Amino acid sequence: MCLTLLLGGGPARLGDAVYTFVVDTLRNRERVLGDMKISHEVSVFDPIEVFGENGALSGSGGHLQHPNFFFGDGKAPAEMDRMRDTIKDADCYLIITPEYNHSVPPALSSMLGHLGDPTTL
């Protein structure tokens, strides 16, 4: 099962302990259902890495100036397209984030905004 995990928050995150526990648990978990062996392939998108140097959205500087869906087919940066495809191909999603002033953390919101309307993924 392909799972995409999205993190929110900044460098001093309280959720890192939760994130580490969840990823370790999922990656080490296997179950058998009938003749099928079920394991988890976990992809993680962390705004600190995604917007950081050489990250999938590093060219945007964290600002929602050029989302993926603004580019024509094959014209978006390759890393941005790979991130979009990984999220699009996931069987399920998990978001680990603290609340931010009674709302969604800006880094998480910007990261998701680059990919457009979730229904188009």
In percent, how much of the chain has pLDDT > 90? 11
Helix (H, G, I), strand (E, B) or coil at 91: coil
Q: Is the pLDDT of residue 118 over 60?
A: no
Residue burial 41-55, b: 16+ Cβ < 10 Å; e: rest: ebebbbbeebbeeeb
Helix (H, G, I), strand (E, B) or coil at 36: strand
Give the model's pLDDT for residue 120: 54
Mean pLDDT (whole number) for 44-68? 81
Q: Per mean pLDDT, which range of 29-33, 88-92, 106-110, 114-118 is the poorest? A: 114-118
Give the model's pLDDT for residue 24: 92
Helix (H, G, I), strand (E, B) or coil at 113: helix
